[in-house]
């Protein structure tokens, strides 16, 4: 698909799109609490952060109200609603950008869609009861991510016989579940879930063989920004992983990723555009 219709806005997937991460949580792994003052979420600061990301090259802002880092504690539905909905509403009113909502909860999907969200980005791939129906009703594109286990236990010694085959089998199953709910292929994106129930070896294999997931003929989204796979190779703290993350973005784009989910938008957008230019010059660009 070339054009992905995201509510009232659209994305041209002939070009790689940059998704800026806006965590409205107090405990995300790299930027938790940045938007909280005196334990209260600052919607104004969230809008300022989103505005800067758009200026830096983000065409999508991914708003998340639940930390899904390894071992993260669960949040209540009301906490997630209170964090996400005011931010979605103000960004939708103030900025010309596609809003993605990083959620698994049907109530958040329903309400965010009504307030102007354009993409549902679900790390649980619509597996929570009611999520499939809510996503279908929203009419929005959905990103289905692979995760082995749950955020609470996903990094407890994950094992695969063949990580590519198992991720592919998972996508087959979730695509079928979506079809049964009336969600058509032109609304689906796939995310292999770097760092979600994978060892360093699994993550490197997924990145190296990302092009093998093109058999679904669906756009691929990758999220490697600041993740522990970079530390596994470079032994860097979370605030020192930019260069390693940029390398994974360049490789991902060369392997056919159409959306990159990142914390550092300006630098990532530069890498995307430079990598695209090289691919176009040598005739490897697939539109």
Per the residue annotation, which of 148, 255, 258, 261 is the catalytic one?
261
81 contacts: CB under 8 Å, gap ≥ 6 = 65, 107, 108, 111
Q: How far is CA 282 from CA 12, 273, 275, 279, in A?
A: 21, 15, 11, 5
Instruction: Say if residues 239 and 30 touch (Cβ distance below 8 Å).
Output: yes
Is 93 annotated as catalytic?
A: no
Q: What are phi and psi of 119, to 5 degrees?
A: -140, 140
Instruction: Kindly tell me the burial class for residue 233, based on how many C-beta atoms sit within 10 Å of its own C-beta (0-12, 13-18, 19 or more).
Output: middle
Catalytic residue among 69, 226, 227, 258: 227
Q: How far is CA 157 from CA 119, 154, 160, 198, 199, in A?
A: 32, 8, 10, 8, 8
Q: Tell me 149's DSSP state.
A: S
Is position 227 annotated as part of the catalytic site?
A: yes
Question: Which positions are catalytic?
Answer: 227, 261
């Amino acid at each position: 698909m070339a054009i992905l219709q995201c509510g009232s806005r659209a994305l041209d997937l002939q070009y790689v799109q940059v998704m800026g991460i806006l965590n409205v949580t107090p405990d995300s792994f790299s930027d938790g609490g940045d938007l909280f003052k005196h334990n209260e979420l600052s919607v104004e600061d969230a809008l300022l952060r989103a505005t800067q990301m758009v200026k830096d090259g983000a065409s999508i802002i991914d708003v998340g109200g639940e930390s899904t880092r390894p071992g993260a504690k669960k949040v209540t539905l009301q906490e997630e609603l209170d964090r996400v909905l005011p931010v979605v509403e103000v960004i939708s009113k103030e900025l010309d950008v596609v809003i993605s909502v990083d959620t698994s909860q049907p109530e958040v999907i329903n309400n965010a869609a009504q307030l102007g969200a354009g993409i549902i980005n679900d790390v649980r791939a619509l597996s929570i009861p009611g999520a499939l129906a809510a996503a279908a009703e929203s009419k929005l594109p959905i990103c289905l991510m692979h995760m082995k286990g749950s955020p609470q236990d996903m990094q407890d010694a994950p094992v695969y016989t063949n990580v590519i085959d198992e991720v592919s089998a998972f996508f087959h199953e979730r695509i079928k579940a979506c079809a049964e709910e009336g969600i058509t292929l032109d609304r689906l994106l796939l995310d292999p879930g770097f760092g979600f129930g994978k060892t360093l070896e699994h993550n490197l294999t997924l990145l190296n063989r990302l092009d093998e997931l093109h058999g679904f003929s669906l756009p691929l989204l990758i999220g490697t920004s600041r993740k522990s796979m970079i530390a596994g190779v470079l032994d860097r703290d979370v605030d020192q992983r930019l260069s390693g993350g940029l390398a994974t973005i360049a490789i991902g784009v060369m392997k056919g990723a159409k959306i990159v989910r990142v914390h550092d938008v300006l630098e990532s957008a530069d890498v995307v555009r430079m990598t695209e230019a090289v691919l176009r010059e040598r005739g490897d660009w697939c539109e």
